[in-house]
């Protein structure tokens, strides 16, 4: 936690997420927009998108307000989309938390952890699986509208468009400022109770 409000800080937060999850901690949260300093509007939106797919989604800082209305109308719209999505994933997140409590299985898994039989994914350190169903590829580069995503074997569906993608390959995913690439694994259940 306590990352700087810059692009390196966001990358550090993603690395911290994967590390702490692999170390047995399932319930944690970061600081949307970084703890120290004031992020740009682009960075704030990307951090907000990332936080949507973590166990605890929260805004916190040492000085600058990290509420969306401090970062312009586009940030407010991104927050509305992210918060709506988060609210609709609550059953999935809650179920994943219960499974984690019972089994010790993390809610966030690195690609190596989630797909141990796919050696080509072992070195991927900038995407992860959330709640055993969502492959999340946070945008970690300023001004990016695209990013590469390594899809594991099987079928994957774009969360935003529903477009099917065949796995076991690398794709270039569209990543406009208002959304980060997220894919649903074929057969995944995104709601329900344990």
- Give the pLDDT mean for 108-125: 95
Q: In this predicted model, which residue has the larger pLDDT, 19 or 59?
A: 19
| Distance, CA of 66 to CA of 122 (rounded, Å) | 34
Which of these ranges, 59-68, 73-82, 151-160, has the smallest mean pLDDT?
59-68
- Give the pLDDT mean for 63-73: 84
For position 123, what pLDDT does the model report?
Answer: 93
Spatial CB neighbours of 170, under 8 Å, sequence gap ≥ 6: 148, 149, 150, 151
Asked if pLDDT for residue 193 goes beyond 60, the answer is no
What letter would DSSP give residue 115?
-
Rounded to the nearest integer, the mean pLDDT of the chain is 91
User: Residue 165: in which H helix or E strand, if any?
Assistant: strand 164-166
67 falls in which pLDDT band (50, 70, 90)?
confident
For position 84, what pLDDT does the model report?
Answer: 93
Write out pLDDT tens, residues 119-154: 999 999 999 999 999 999 999 999 999 999 999 999
- Give the pLDDT mean for 23-49: 88
Closest-CA residue to 31 (of 11, 15, 45, 10): 10
For position 1, what pLDDT does the model report?
Answer: 67
Q: In this predicted model, which residue has the larger pLDDT, 31 or 106?
A: 106
For position 194, what pLDDT does the model report?
Answer: 37
192 falls in which pLDDT band (50, 70, 90)?
very low
> Which residue's entry shows tokens 């899809």?
151
């Amino acid at each position: 936690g306590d990352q700087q409000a810059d692009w390196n800080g966001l990358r550090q937060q993603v690395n911290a997420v994967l590390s702490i999850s692999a170390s047995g901690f399932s319930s944690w949260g970061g600081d949307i927009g970084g703890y120290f300093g004031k992020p740009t509007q682009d960075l704030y939106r990307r951090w907000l998108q990332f936080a949507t797919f973590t166990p605890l989604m929260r805004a916190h800082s040492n000085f600058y307000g990290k509420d969306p209305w401090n970062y312009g109308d586009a940030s407010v719209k991104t927050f509305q989309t992210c918060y709506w999505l988060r609210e609709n994933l609550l059953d999935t997140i809650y179920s994943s938390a219960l499974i984690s409590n019972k089994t010790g299985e993390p809610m966030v898994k690195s690609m190596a952890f989630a797909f141990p039989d796919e050696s080509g994914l072992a070195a991927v350190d900038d995407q992860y699986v959330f709640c055993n169903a969502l492959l999340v590829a946070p945008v970690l580069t300023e001004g990016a509208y695209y990013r590469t995503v390594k899809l594991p074997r099987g079928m994957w569906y774009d969360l935003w468009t529903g477009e099917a993608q065949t796995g076991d390959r690398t794709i270039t995913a569209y990543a406009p400022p208002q959304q980060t690439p997220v894919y649903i694994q074929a057969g995944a259940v995104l709601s329900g109770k344990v």
